[in-house]
Structure 1
Amino acid sequence: MVQGLNARATRARGLGAVQGVRRLACETGASAACAAPRRSLQGAGAAIAAALIAVASPVWAAGPAVVVKHGETVTIDGVRNIVMRADQAKGGILLLTGGDGRLNVTDGAQFTDGADNVLIRNRDAFAARGYNVMLVDLGTDLAAAVGYMARLKAPVTVIGTSKGTERLAQGLAKGARPDKVVLSSGFLSPESGPGDSVQAILGTPSRLPPTLAIHHREDHCRWTRPAGVEPFKAWAGPKVEVAWLSGGVDDQANPCRYSGHHGFAGVDAAFVDRIMAFIAK
């Protein structure tokens, strides 16, 4: 993968190419590249290339192993995920992280990436409400995962955050049928920002089950602007309920990270409470 990135960087010419790579680095959380000065093509290119190599490196990407309490590793169509089972469960919740979607789940209910994501860091809070919870790793077939959780206990809700909302929409478009979905800091509509949106991926609101769009009023991430929420609501109609949160802390260096309003930093309890109120209806 690193060799492929290096080859692409060698072929790239001009400021537009560097800015494209810079956007990719920002999306994957390489804050050094994201913060590189635009005015210096050579300096920005060097910073971005170095950060992208770091992003591509498994050694850099893998953090310390996290063991999920009361969890078990389950394999769904060849991909490992983690399930936390509740006693006398009320239903199931699937958590789709943002960024590249990778948790790097291993045996023993362990994972190495994405522990600080708002959904993943609040996994115990969701489970404490009496629901089975699945931490969904990259590459998992969403329809199969929903089916697995439904066999444990229905109803099933899928929660996606940030770029995870794109993957959630792709899963719905391919036939996943959860009972409800939650779109957190979502790529909702063209007004949300550049790139694909849930609206564009689905094409029609008929593919949506009852949906909660939960957003921070001060989300400054360029892909998930608050301005995209109301157009999405207008498109989807009564299927969508909107919830706004305020307060907490922001990340001035990279407003698209878990550590700012985009990731509901500092308002975790209100975030979980609002989602669970929707699920419990």
Structure 2
Amino acid sequence: MKRSVLALLTAFTLVALAAPARSEEVVDLGGGFFGGGKALLNKPAGKARAGLVLLTGGDGNIGIGSDGSVARSGNWIVRTRAAYLRSSIASITLDAGADPARAVELMRGIAPRVIVVAMSRGALKVAGTLAQRPDGIVFTSAILDQARSAIGDPSRLPPTLLVHHRWDTCRLTLPESTVAFQEWAGNRARTVWIEGGSSTGDPCQARAYHGFIGRESAVVAAIVGFAGSLR
């Protein structure tokens, strides 16, 4: 019985995260090593009500090919990139070398509100987008101590969402850093805590609590809700 319930829940999660049929567009957002500045753009069939600029963790190298293939798709932010289409939200997923500031500018022509979503080490790129005045920032499993130093002053932040797993044991993204960032940002930020899921291997990699394994749909829902709250 337990196996049947688990199988049913797994199937439900896969359906919830599955993207509707779409044509993903490869765009170039500047030169660079690895991916050469490529990004993957997903747009809903109708008018987009928001646009997300998705910044992955690590070195940012996910290996986007000219045909739209992705060599390294284990990161949750890459695996769920098209899940937002069901909520009429566009997204652009950046490879290493792609310019996040240019991505914000591109999304301005697609959606009325633009939100930068940064995973782990991708948080260190957020400060470089603030001159483009994104409408919101989402930090997920983020390296917040260094991000805070790069931002400098909380007054520079637009409305900000912190999404963090309570059991994250990566030494660079311990839950305490989220609490400290929330106190620093004050009413400019709010925090959503994630629990549950599974964790294996390196605590700083995609298969650990750090990568929200089994809780991807909760993270997507938090980001969709935040996008809907912006005016």
- Say whether the 8 Å CA contact 1:84–1:133 is kept in structure 2: yes
When Rg is computed on C-alpha atoms for both structures, the one with the higher figure is 1
Percent of aligned pairs sharing the same letter: 34
Return the letter of the residue paired with 2:30.
Answer: D
CA contact (8 A) 1:160 1:182 kept: yes
Consecutive unaligned residues of structure 1, counting only runs of 5 or more, are: 1-67, 190-196
Which residue of structure 2 lines up, in the alignment, with residue 205 of structure 1?
A: 154
- Equivalent pair of 2:162/2:191 in contact (CA under 8 Å): yes
Q: Is the contact between residue 142 and residue 176 of structure 1 (CA under 8 Å) also seen in structure 2?
A: no
Q: Does the CA contact (< 8 Å) of 1:159 and 1:183 recur in 2?
A: yes
Counterpart mapping for 1:83-232 below 5 A: 83-87=41-45, 88-113=47-72, 115-172=73-130, 175-189=131-145, 197-232=146-181
User: Which amino acid is the alignment partner of residue 26 of structure 2?
Assistant: T
Residue of structure 1 in register with 2:194 after alignment? 245
Is the contact between residue 141 and residue 171 of structure 1 (CA under 8 Å) also seen in structure 2? no
Give the letter for the 2:68 counterpart: A
Q: 1:274 aligns with which of 219, 222, 225?
A: 222
2: distance between equivalents of 1:133 and 1:102? 18
Q: Is the 8 A contact 2:101 2:128 kept in 1?
A: no
Cα separation, 2, equivalents of 1:243 and 1:136: 24
Provide Cα deviations, 1:76-109, integer angstroms capped at 9, x if missing partner: 2342211011122112111111111112222222
State TM-score, norm by structure 2: 0.83
Q: Which has the higher contact order (CA 8 A, sep 6+)?
A: 2
- Partner of residue 82, structure 1: 40
Per-residue Cα deviation, 1:101-155 (whole angstroms, up to 9, x for no partner): 1122222222212x01111111121222211110111122222110101111220
How much has 1:69 moved relative to structure 2? 4.8
- RMSD, matched Cα: 1.5
**Distance in structure 1 (CA, Å) of the matches to 2:27 and 2:63:** 13
| Equivalent residue, structure 1, for 2:26 | 73
Residue type of the alignment partner of 2:66: D
Match of 2:15 in 1: none
Deviating 4+ runs (over 4 angstroms): none
For residues 127 and 168 of structure 2, the distance between their equivalents in structure 1, rounded to whole angstroms, comes to 21
Matched residues in 2 for 1:231 and 1:187: separation?
12
* TM-score normalised by the chain length of structure 1: 0.69
Q: Deviations over 1:178-205 (max 9, x none)?
A: 110100001112xxxxxxx111111111
1:170 Cα shift? 3.7
Decide whether the 8 Å contact of 2:120 with 2:140 is kept in 1: yes
